[in-house]
Structure 1
Amino acid sequence: MTSTEPRDFATSVAANVPFLRRYARALTGSQDSGDRYAAATLEAILLDDGAAKANSDAKLGLFRAFHLVWSSAGAPVGEADTRLSARAQSHMATLTPNTREALLLHAIEGFSANEIAVIMDVTPSEAADFIDIARREMENSVSGKVMVIEDEAIIAMDIVSIVQDLGHSVTGIARTRKDAVKLAASNRPDLILADIQLADNSSGIDAVNDILAQFDDIPVIFITAFPERLLTGARPEPAFLITKPFSEEQVRSAVGQAMFFSSTETLAA
């Protein structure tokens, strides 16, 4: 082992920690819980980096180490802090074991079935089956109203088409911060999909914060070409984050995940 290998490994792990935290939060349904297990993974690697270094790909090793920690703890979700969030978690209890993890790893983090097999310690065919099962079970679990904040017409139309194909209704499309706040006030959504940079140079983040000041239990999916700018550890961080350019599968998975964990009473279970 050369003298640079430990440093290179640590650098590679550090570069992928924001994406592990994104995955952990989406997986557990809680920012606090997800961050705790991400931190526990790093602590475990400091004590014994064998599991993480078993693969030449640092990201693959990091996620495998996370799953060893998370699975050993019983694969918990975040603790429900309200009656409505408890209902959301009751939905998750109906899912086939291991399927949600595989779907998130594939659709959000971009791992192949072969890589997921390594992370989850299953066969590639099992990993592929998990992805298919999760997609069907989660997309059929709930439906609701979705608001789109996006200033590029073609992208907005693509998002609307995907959302409607999933069985959700769309309350409208907002191109500016002002329009977004007005639209949300007139028709409260169950889910918001928001771009970061809007038509009048206003911020999609500011628009979402304005809306959440009125309705604090609406799940949000942010869409951005620069995900690292939102995965900084500052609060609040998005539990669901799609990187541009996005695929249809990424949007379908994120919407299914966000709706699944939504605590709004208007959702049709």
Structure 2
Amino acid sequence: MSLLARLAPHLPYVRRYARALTGDQATGDNYVRVALEAVAAGERQLPPSMTPRVALYHVFHAIWSSTGAQLETGAEAGGGDPASRLMRMAPRSRQAFLLTALEGFTPSEAAQILDAPVSDVEGLIAEAQSDIDAELATDVLIIEDEAIISADIESLVRELGHDVSATATTRDEAVEAVARHRPGLVLADIQLADGSSGIDAVKDILGQHDVPVIFITAFPERLLTGERPEPTFLITKPFQPETVKAAISQALFFHPARQKEAA
């Protein structure tokens, strides 16, 4: 099997991780592209002791760490873009947390990716959890047509210290809910009850308000194609509570409007 064939199934997910880590689609994709080019040119080797997926993330991290986050499109060193903010503010624990909670790696696999002892990674995850718990609460709009899933998300959001401003099952309901109360975060399913699209609902909302958005879907590969604008933050169904928590934290942390408020 060719190298490309072995890596292809994992590319949508490493791109998702790269965007969550850097807070920007173009920046994340740049790092993934450079990592793949380095592998293709023989400049970086996929460690044979690792599975293809772990090895791909390992090479990506080696590239990301060695460049010092200098590949940002149009970014200036020390500027206010998401990648620069991450390099100044986010500890290594945020990487460990994303790898385990968002990408589903075990602490042992995350340790291989980060070239760190498992005990250190477990400590980093605990530190990240503490940082996330300290995040400021916000009002969340949930756009989800499955009642059980909507209730689960609402319960989890409240457990995290946030308020649920409204729940909606269709595009129209979502737009009406935002007209009544502007949320600080939107969690949106893709396919809604009346056949409408959560993507279209989000477009309507973003046309009026600048708020962070997290999409929810059972088929992430349909959105992570590289052929159209893609979500920076995405939760895959069925999801784990830790996954939702990681995505919410990153979406709030990286959103430009929130950074201006904190400045």
Q: TM-score, normalised by structure 2?
A: 0.90
Distance 1:151 1:266, change over 3 A: farther
Q: CA deviation at 1:183?
A: 0.8
1:138 aligns with 2:138: no
1:221 aligns with 2:217: no
Aligned-partner Cα distance in 2 for 1:267–1:60: 36
Amino acid at match of 2:100: H
Amino acid at match of 2:217: T
1:205 aligns with 2:199: yes
Q: Which residue of 2 aligns with 1:28?
A: 22
The within-5 A match list for 1:1-269 is: 5=1, 7=2, 9-48=3-42, 51-75=45-69, 86=80, 90=85, 93-95=88-90, 97-215=91-209, 217-265=210-258
Aligned-partner Cα distance in 1 for 2:134–2:13: 27
Q: Which piece of structure 1 moves more, 61-70 or 217-226?
A: 217-226
Aligned-partner Cα distance in 2 for 1:47–1:20: 19
Distance 1:162 1:79, change over 3 A: farther
Aligned-partner Cα distance in 2 for 1:138–1:78: 25
For structure 2, the residue ranges without an aligned partner over 5 or more in a row are none
For structure 1, the residue ranges without an aligned partner over 5 or more in a row are none
Distance 1:185 1:160, change over 3 A: same
Aligned-partner Cα distance in 2 for 1:99–1:218: 26
Distance 1:266 1:45, change over 3 A: closer
Whether the 8 Å CA contact 1:190–1:264 is kept in 2: the answer is no
Aligned-partner Cα distance in 2 for 1:91–1:140: 17
Aligned-partner Cα distance in 1 for 2:167–2:71: 33
Whether the 8 Å CA contact 1:177–1:206 is kept in 2: the answer is yes
Aligned-partner Cα distance in 1 for 2:229–2:179: 22
Q: How many residues are matched?
A: 258
Residue identity over aligned pairs, in percent, reads 47
Deviations 1:146-188 (A, max 9, x none): 1100011111111111111111111100000100111112211
Aligned-partner Cα distance in 2 for 1:145–1:16: 34
Whether the 8 Å CA contact 2:38–2:44 is kept in 1: the answer is no
Moved over 6 A (4+): none
Amino acid at match of 1:14: A
Q: CA deviation at 1:143?
A: 2.0
Deviations 1:41-86 (A, max 9, x none): 00010112753243341111100000110000124695798xxx93
Q: CA deviation at 1:142?
A: 2.4
Aligned-partner Cα distance in 2 for 1:268–1:52: 42
Q: CA deviation at 1:39?
A: 0.4
Aligned-partner Cα distance in 2 for 1:150–1:134: 28
SS of the residue 2:194 aligns to: coil
SS of the residue 2:191 aligns to: coil
Whether the 8 Å CA contact 1:144–1:266 is kept in 2: the answer is no
Aligned-partner Cα distance in 1 for 2:172–2:256: 25
Aligned-partner Cα distance in 2 for 1:77–1:126: 28
Whether the 8 Å CA contact 1:212–1:218 is kept in 2: the answer is yes
